[in-house]
């Protein structure tokens, strides 16, 4: 291909520039202002029975100098924005981790802004927002979520990309590309395609000349066809 080709390895959030407007985003407005007594009480609420049980289980590996309540209050007062990973932090599979809902609600009552990030590109922000809703966190919207699928699409849009993107990945990337108005091909649609390796396979795959970028994310249906198509897009 004549145009320059961009290879986006979707393994993390690439948009550092997107954090500046985050601090003033109305969608992330805090639930209430904070005071020291409120912080202390909310710390107690967040550390409910489940947290105490977890604390007992971890007692043998507890730090020699655990943080005090006063230090916790000082830390919370010094931070306005909390950024959470999702898998293994907010949920495990389709189950909310014990105590996380109370912790998030406590932070909201303290007037903190909460953002959720993930390098799992299999879902779009819309799909992640729906998962949050099903887990009882209805207040989390797309504006609170920064997924690597969104980062890839936003990066291309910011660059004024006007060609097609070939995707090795799943529906999350496709959904974000569509939301950004970027044409695409590949993804799950190429899951069943095969290459004749006995004949070298090279001549049987003809690439779309309008492809200007290859996006690579987690793909549970990765195959030789996708690998060869993406490689030819980059070389031709």
| Catalytic positions | 80
The DSSP 8-state label assigned to residue 97 in this structure reads P
- 161: burial class by Cβ within 10 Å (0-12, 13-18, 19+)? buried
H or E stretch covering 74: helix 69-78
Measuring CA to CA, how many Å separate 139 from each of 33, 46, 121, 145?
18, 18, 22, 12
* Rounded distance between C-alpha atoms, residue 168 and residue 223, angstroms: 9
């Amino acid at each position: 291909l004549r145009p320059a080709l961009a290879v986006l390895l979707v393994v993390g959030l690439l948009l550092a520039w997107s954090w500046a407007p985050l601090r003033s985003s109305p969608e992330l407005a805090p639930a209430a202002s904070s005071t020291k007594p409120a912080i202390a009480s909310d710390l107690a609420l967040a550390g409910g029975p489940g947290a105490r049980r977890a604390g007992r289980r971890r007692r043998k590996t507890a730090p020699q100098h655990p943080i005090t309540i006063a230090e916790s209050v000082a830390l919370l007062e010094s931070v306005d924005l909390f950024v959470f990973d999702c898998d293994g932090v907010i949920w495990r599979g389709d189950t909310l981790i014990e105590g996380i809902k109370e912790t998030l609600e406590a932070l909201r009552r303290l007037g903190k802004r909460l953002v959720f990030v993930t390098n799992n590109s299999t879902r779009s922000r819309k799909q992640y927002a729906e998962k949050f809703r099903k887990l009882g966190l209805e207040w989390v919207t797309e504006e609170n979520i920064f997924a690597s699928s969104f980062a890839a699409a936003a990066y291309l849009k910011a660059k004024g990309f006007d060609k097609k993107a070939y995707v090795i990945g799943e529906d999350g990337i496709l959904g974000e590309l569509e939301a950004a108005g970027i044409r695409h091909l590949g993804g799950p649609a190429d899951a069943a395609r095969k290459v004749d390796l006995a004949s070298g396979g090279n001549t049987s795959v003809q690439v779309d000349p309008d492809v200007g970028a290859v996006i690579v994310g987690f793909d549970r249906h990765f195959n030789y066809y996708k690998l060869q198509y993406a490689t030819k897009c980059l070389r031709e």
